[in-house]
Amino acid sequence: MAKVSEYIKESYIELTQKVTWPTWRELQNSAVLVLVAAMIIAMVILVMDQSIQFLLKQFYESLT
């Protein structure tokens, strides 16, 4: 039990004194960057999906 208690104490000290937390502005900038990147990736996937759908539709229509 002493090891668990020591671990919790050391974790608390590390989180409060040794970790450099981002400022609110840095956090906002990072969130915007992640949002923009996610939207770009979603658009790329949408274009790929629509292209493959179109190609497969053309292929299957050419068989009949």
What is the DSSP secondary-structure string of 9-32? Answer: HHHHHIIIII--PPPHHHHHHHHH
Q: For 11-25, how does the pLDDT look when each residue is reduced to its tens digit (9 = 90+)?
A: 999 999 999 999 999
Q: For 29-63, how does the pLDDT look when each residue is reduced to its tens digit (9 = 90+)?
A: 999 999 999 999 999 999 999 999 999 999 999 99
Structure tokens at 61: 């229509």
Question: How remote is the C-alpha of 16 from its chain's centroid?
Answer: 26
Question: How remote is the C-alpha of 10 from its chain's centroid?
Answer: 29
Residues 6+ apart with CB under 8 A from 22: 30
